[in-house]
Chains A and B, each alone.
Chain A
């Protein structure tokens, strides 16, 4: 991380004096509104940038031209889009003051959008989003609600626990999302039009790796917990052969899912296969059904 860039990232949010950062921040939550196949997030991008452009270009003709410039194709990861918005606002500001020209703006905007899309998709969609489910499951398990695993059983737990699980996941996720939306805006502005804006000011690969490791560990912990409960609920009353069958079924499902993925099929293919086989065995052939849990 270069000293200059580090200083830029640490620059206080007050640095972009004059620009309505707060308004842009609130509008950034709608950056995907009006998403369409012709120009992707262009409407949301222009909407987010609009307060800054109004401030930068009091002349209506120049404002019009600026709005049209930013209604062109734009697509990136919505949370990290703030880096591009902040940076573009600064470039427009400098151009209006005659300190920069707008010749390289479209290319730079596109390059930054692609880079942040790749980083953001890995962090938010690929890691943090599945982790919200893990947080929810762990909170429910800690609170004694195993109903997510024992389908068909009658349990009663409090509404705060039921809603608390997913809400904890949402808070965990949103803490990252809101932080980067705000930080990105300030840091993007502080970049002052640099084409490597914020790409080398933060160790993104390290963050991605750390999230992968944390997510994997939580996955293993949840799988072991589920397996422990399966054995615990069956071992006391089950003959060894039955227990083996009940342990073998989840394993068979895992193998089926693995094979589906290997053939490029989605999880719905595996779910549909399980449903079709179950209907055939227990609804058509009328074999005596049994429960996975006693």
Chain B
């Protein structure tokens, strides 16, 4: 399988897994801890995929989707991180930070989709008044749109990373990114610790 085809399939798969975050299921198949090793396995780098996935998960676990807040997207982060490494050819450390940024940058897109869907309510009401109940179609459309947007988003980042890898002198960044990357497990573990510590000591 060519690298391009693999990147396209991985992006589409990321789009599918991304639906689990909000719109369908919420079994946590969309979490970076699963998306990372899964896409890593599909792209021939399961170890690095697992590592990128779990480290992104440890940072992204800090965000909770309460009250309609749009948190940074962990699926996009892990998928972009793995593809930046496997398809883009970047170092794992740089791929990690690019993935982290891609997850944050996805939030406005998700916000926009939710805002656009607001206009659907009146149209659905009119349909019901006219005796047609096509809720299933509207919801299927919503799922398809999000799937397509996420897939295209991940693929665009993968292409961007491929271009970035061609830049001369990129290697100068690696000593810095490698060192920062080696500290990320500790940052993630501290997040996990603080999350439960706050809960246990809450009065």
Residues of A within 8 A of B (CB): 29-30, 32-40, 42-44, 46-47, 50, 60, 64, 67-68, 71, 75, 78-79, 117, 121, 125-127, 129-130, 132-134, 136-137, 140, 145, 147-149, 151-152, 155-157, 159, 162-163, 165-167, 169-170, 173-174, 177, 212-213, 215-216, 218-220, 222-223, 226, 249-250, 253-254, 256-258, 261, 266-268, 270-271, 274-275, 277-284, 286, 289-293
Contact = CB atoms under 8 A, between A and B. Distances in A.
B185 A148 contact: yes
A219 B67 CA distance: 26
A30 B200 contact: no
Where chain B touches its partner, the secondary structure class is helix
A151 B187 contact: no
A129 B184 CA distance: 20
A169 B181 contact: no
Contact of A266 (B27, B62, B97, B176): B62
Given A257-B191, A282-B179, A271 B51 contact: no
B177 A32 contact: no
Where chain A touches its partner, the secondary structure class is helix
B37 A68 contact: no
B23 A32 contact: yes
B196 A46 contact: no
A277 B190 CA distance: 19
A283 B175 contact: yes
Contacts of A271: 59, 97, 100, 180, 184, 187
A158 to B, nearest CB: 9
Q: Which of B97, B104, B186, B192 is packed against the most chain A CB atoms within 10 Å?
A: B186
A159 B46 contact: yes
Given A163-B37, A254-B186, A219 B22 contact: no
A30 B33 contact: no
B124 A266 contact: no
B38 to A, nearest CB: 7
Contacts of A280: 176
Given A33-B23, A35-B23, 15 more contacts: A40-B68, A71-B128, A125-B64, A126-B195, A132-B31, A148-B185, A162-B46, A166-B37, A223-B189, A268-B72, A270-B187, A271-B100, A271-B184, A274-B183, A283-B177
Contacts of A129: 28, 61, 64
Nearest to A284: B176
Contacts of B197: 216, 219
16 contacts: A42-B121, A43-B121, A47-B136, A79-B26, A125-B66, A130-B61, A130-B192, A136-B57, A151-B51, A170-B31, A170-B34, A220-B193, A254-B186, A268-B100, A271-B97, A278-B176
Contacts of A64: 128-129, 131
